[in-house]
Structure formats: structure tokens, C-alpha cells
Structure 1
Amino acid sequence: MIREAESKDREQLSNLYRMLVPNSKKMSVPEEQIEKIRMDPANFLLVYEEEGALLGTLTLNICLQAMHGTRPYGLIENIVVHEDHRSNNIGQSLLKYAEEYCRSLHCHKIMLLSHSKRVRAHQFFEREGYDGSVSKGFKKYL
């Protein structure tokens, strides 16, 4: 089942994020932030749950723009599937859920970034129809 995260999911979300960035010293998943996202109509912290266990997550942000009329775009971040449950269509289910929501809002596009060394993730995104050759992503950490 895919649903929005709740504050009670904090520990399991932290565990999933550790699988994505195992050496991060800055990672923090406060319950208050989970609830703040939950209350925001343009931001979604989605989780894939089976029998009480969170097996995957992604963040979806709906962003306004002026270039394409009233059509927003979706931004996906922090997509991670539990390392013991990869290749079981969990990531695919999360992406499809986010895509359907974006379609319902008539989004112009969906964008996502992936670390340049995550080759398996890149292959997965390409299988799901995302084109990594159209744009080049840039980040500046603050």
C-alpha cells in the first residue's frame, strides 16, 4: 500500500534514508517535519508499506512555474527502496503513483536527480521512461 508518511514512521524512514546515504552526518528526520510535509498541499512524503513495514519512500514536490501557462511540474527526490526488497516493483509502484498524481494536475513534466555513481538506479529510471541524457543536473549544498 502507498500512503503519505506520518510522524510515527520516523524511525523506519530514517532506516530507509540510511540505505540511500549511509555516511551522512547531516541526516535528520524530525517528526515535526514529516507532519509539516503531510499538511502541505504541494509536498508529499510517500511510503510503500507492507504489513507495517516501510519498504520504500519518495518525496514528491509540485512546483509552480510561468513558462508553461498554469501547468506545474513534479520534482521527485529521495527515492529509496529497502535493500532487502529491491527488484520487487516497489520503486516502480512509487513512481507510477507519483506520475498519476502529476498527470491529474496536468503537470508539464517530472524531474528527478540521482547521484552520478548510482548506475543501477539510473538503469531503473531509464526503464521507467526517464531520460538521463536530456538535461544535466547541478547541485550546490548550503
Structure 2
Amino acid sequence: MPAPAKHSAKTAPAANAALAAQVGSLTRLIRRRRPRKLNMLNSAAMMDPLARKEPRLRPEHGGGRRGRIVMAQMPRAAAQFEQENPKQIPMNDTVLSIRQARQADLPPLLDLYQHLAPGDQRASPELASEIFSRFLTYPGSAIFIGEIASSIVSSCTLVVVPNLTRGGSPYGLIENVVTDERFRGQGHATQLLDAATSSAWDHGCYKVMLLTGSKDSATINFYLHAGFEQTKTGFQKRRIATRKE
């Protein structure tokens, strides 16, 4: 068996240098073949305008990251669609919201009363505020208003009258039933009357009454359909002439 070759001290550095050169060449070759993230991002940006704005969302390779990219692009696409095709938001202009009137409601409420008696003398803001404050001192009494889109379109007044008969049970009187002419025939006044009647029951009233000077069959049928009975005969004395229908 031949003896292993002996290397002198002079040949070792040369061998190491050759090995280092080979390793360096291999490393440079690998680097040239390896795709750079930056180059791919720049290429994607040229192909896709979305990538120019948000390059960090573009993939280096295919695979599972595509789903994430789609999700990232969806809000942008939806926003662009909504800008080009704005939504038509439906106005719920037939939904009536009922509540009791407050001081701030007096100006539009006085406007609404012109639909009850066109040309009726209007109380001054100061007088209306004073009367309304006194009115609220009567327990159970309230002015009910119906709103559509924050505009008062219907109203009625409930007065709870103290009483010494019927075991001391009070009774209710409803007045000033009115609906804006533009919103009539939609059942708003009926809803106001129901709200006023329910409030009267809550305050212990044993009956609720109302009067109408109208002889129009449509008006009379309206109150009948609202649950009122024409069982009594009303009489009145007036200081102001009866308004014309």
C-alpha cells in the first residue's frame, strides 16, 4: 500500500486559495439566480397600479398569500364602486314618530295649526311660551305631536279634567286634532288619537271625549273608525264665530 503523499507547507496556502475562489464563484452564481424582492415589487408596480400604492401587499411568489391580497384589494374596489354608483338611501318618510311637545316645538306647532284653521290669529312667541308652561301644570295633560323626518306633521291635545264623580276618576278631552294637508290620508291622526287615549287611560281617565263642528261624513267616519262613538249630543256657547269648513 503506497504511503500517503506528503504536502509541503508551501502547497497548503495555494490549495486554500483555490477552494476559496470556488466558493466565491458558487456564491455569486446563486445570488444571480435568486429573485430579488425589490425587483419583483418594481415589476408588479409597473403591471398593477394598486401595487404602486401599496407594494408591501404584493406577493414574492404565488401560493397561499394570494387570498390575503384579494382581501386587501376588496375595500379599495368597493370604495371605488360606491363612488361611481352612490347608494340611494331610502327615506322613511311614512314612519311617524310620536312624542309629547316641548317648548322648542312651539314655532313649528303654531305653523301646523294653520292647517287646522287657515288664517287663524297666531299667538306671539312670548304668549305661546307662557300658555304652554301653564298648560303643563295640569297633570296628565299633553300636546302630542307626530314627526316624520324631524318635521311635525300631525298633532292633538289631551286635557285631563279632575272630576268628583265616578269615584273621583278624571276624564279626558281631546282638541286641536290636525294633520298637515300634505300628509293626510295616511293614518297619522289616528295614531295620535290612539296615543292620547292610551295616555288618558294611564292617568286614570274613565272616558275620553272630543267634539267636531264638521258635518262632513268623511270627518265623522274618521272618528268612528278611530274608535270613538257618537253617543252624546254636544252643545256650546261661543264668543268667536264658528269657523267655516
TM-score after normalising by structure 2 = 0.52
Quick check: 1:81 aligned with 2:179? yes
How much is the aligned-residue C-alpha RMSD, in angstroms? 2.0
How has the CA–CA distance of structure 1 residues 136 and 39 changed in structure 2, closer, same or farther, with 3 Å as cutoff? closer
1:82 deviates by 0.8
Quick check: 1:67 aligned with 2:67? no
- Structure 1 alignment gaps of length 5 or more: none
1:34 deviates by 2.8
Q: Residue 28 of structure 1 aligns to which amino acid in structure 2?
A: A
Tell me which of the two structures has the higher relative contact order, counting C-alpha pairs closer than 8 angstroms and 6 or more residues apart: 1
Question: In structure 2, the residue corresponding to 1:80 is in which secondary structure?
Answer: strand
Quick check: 1:28 aligned with 2:123? yes
Cα separation, 2, equivalents of 1:4 and 1:50: 14
How has the CA–CA distance of structure 1 residues 51 and 119 changed in structure 2, closer, same or farther, with 3 Å as cutoff? same
1:65 deviates by 1.1
- Match in the other structure for 1:49: 147
Structure with the higher helix share, 1 or 2: 2
TM-score after normalising by structure 1 = 0.86
Question: In structure 2, the residue corresponding to 1:2 is in which secondary structure?
Answer: strand
Percent identity between matched residues is 27
Bigger Cα Rg? 2
Aligned residues: 141
Q: Residue 128 of structure 1 aligns to which amino acid in structure 2?
A: A
Quick check: 1:19 aligned with 2:122? no
- Match in the other structure for 2:234: 136
Cα separation, 2, equivalents of 1:118 and 1:78: 17
Whether the 8 Å CA contact 2:162–2:169 is kept in 1: the answer is yes
Q: Following superposition of structure 1 onto structure 2, how do residues 93-132 of structure 1 map, counting pairs within 5 Å?
A: 93-132=191-230
- Structure 2 alignment gaps of length 5 or more: 1-96, 241-245
Whether the 8 Å CA contact 1:37–1:45 is kept in 2: the answer is no
